Amino acid sequence: MNSTNNLPLISTLALSFLRSLFVHCSSFVRLLFVFCSFIVRFSYKHLLN
């Protein structure tokens, strides 16, 4: 009975962990994309000049 009672708690914790992980990954990807676009823009300016 204890294992079945603990299962919803574990699944809720896993879901919240996955959600936070997804949020962190998406923010990291956005940061990486901004950084890459900045580097590309800088290199284009450097090449043009």
Which residue in the block uniquely carries the two structure tokens 């204890």? 2
- Following DSSP, what letter does each residue of 1-49 receive, concatenated? -HHHHHHHHHHHHHHHHHHHHHHHHHHHHHHHHHHHHHHHHHHHHHHH-
Take residue 20 and report the two structure tokens written for it.
């936070």
- Condensed to tens digits (0 to 9), the pLDDT of residues 1-49 reads 566 678 889 899 999 999 999 999 999 999 999 999 999 999 988 888 7
b/e map 22-35, b = 16+ CB within 10 Å: eeeeeeeeeeeeee
Give this prediction's pTM.
Answer: 0.55
* Residue boundaries of the structural domains of the chain: 1-49
